[in-house]
């Protein structure tokens, strides 16, 4: 692991790092915020998965989560959204290829060699952090959140791996990718046209079939111009049908931007901290 930068921030440290990834077969950049409490012993970790076109930097710089993380004694991890590099496959569209990994393990050419973001986020990066941040991060106490495509990633990864995550939330997540153009296009490319091969990659279906062992927190702006693609209603209906403990709030006047995320991220950090520290 190589250090790109480290800066003092709210009494803690905001760092950016790179490391070779076997899962993605390229170097991957990620960011970690360690709060001041990490100086006294390991703190719980909140993973933040970003959305389409983003890198590790978008949420790190725009979400404003560090102040709340320092207040509650929670570390933040910001992975990238896809593999990077000259030999990594890409597409002319913004919603496929680089910046659009959709947090799945690709099985189809030309994506399969590099696009294994599920394994990277769920397995490889936690193992790296456990080794490199020993004594600072408690990787046995993890929560996960994300925005848009990253909200899809947070919900599906948590619902499929309840042993690895104690808490889950999302901002404007893609709730029903199997029924949306933000999902069907990408899953067909990465996993093939046979929908039976898409597996457990739809949060609404996962809630209906499996549910979650704790509360789910979701914020969604009602002025979001991508509402038809996000399909929030599908997740609401699934939670109601399952009897799932969930707070899904439509926020009047808020859109899909980081102004929306930064407004409500203190609530999400507090939500995760209460569970992770409890």
Residues with catalytic roles: 148, 224, 256
Peptide bond into 110 cis (omega under 30): yes
What is the maximum alpha-carbon separation in the chain? Answer: 51
SS3 90: coil
With a CB cutoff of 8 Å and minimum separation 6, the contacts of 57 are 16, 31, 78
Residue 96, token pair as written in the block = 């496929």
> E-assigned strands of 147-270?
167-171, 216-221, 246-251
- Nearest-angstrom CA–CA distance, 168 and 155: 7
Parallel, antiparallel or unpaired: strands 26-34 and 12-21: antiparallel
Compute CA distances 101 → 123, 181, 185, 208, 256, whole Å: 16, 15, 12, 25, 19
């Amino acid at each position: 692991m190589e250090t790109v930068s480290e800066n003092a921030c709210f009494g803690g440290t905001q760092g950016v790092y790179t490391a070779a990834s076997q899962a993605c077969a390229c170097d991957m950049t990620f960011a970690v915020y360690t709060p001041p409490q990490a100086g006294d012993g390991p703190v719980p970790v909140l993973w933040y998965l970003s959305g389409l076109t983003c890198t590790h930097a978008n949420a790190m710089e725009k979400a404003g989560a560090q102040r709340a993380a320092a207040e509650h004694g929670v570390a933040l991890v910001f992975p990238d959204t896809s593999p990077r590099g000259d030999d990594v496959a890409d597409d002319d569209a913004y919603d496929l290829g680089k910046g659009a990994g959709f947090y799945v393990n690709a099985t189809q050419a030309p994506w399969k060699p590099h696009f294994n973001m599920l394994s990277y986020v769920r397995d490889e990066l936690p193992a790296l952090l456990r080794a490199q941040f020993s004594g600072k991060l408690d990787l046995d106490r993890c929560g996960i959140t994300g925005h848009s495509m990253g909200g899809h990633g947070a919900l599906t990864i948590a619902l499929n791996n309840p042993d690895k995550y104690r808490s889950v939330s999302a901002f404007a997540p893609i709730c029903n990718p199997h029924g949306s153009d933000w999902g069907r296009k990408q899953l067909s490319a990465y996993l093939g046209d046979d929908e039976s091969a898409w597996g457990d990659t739809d949060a609404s279906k996962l809630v209906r079939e499996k549910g979650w062992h704790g509360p789910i927190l979701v914020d969604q702006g009602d002025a979001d111009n991508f509402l038809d693609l996000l399909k929030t209603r599908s997740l609401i209906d699934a939670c109601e049908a399952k009897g799932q403990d969930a707070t899904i709030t439509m926020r009047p006047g808020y859109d899909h931007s980081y102004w929306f995320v930064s407004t409500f991220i203190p609530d999400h950090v507090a939500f995760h901290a209460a569970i992770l520290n409890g």
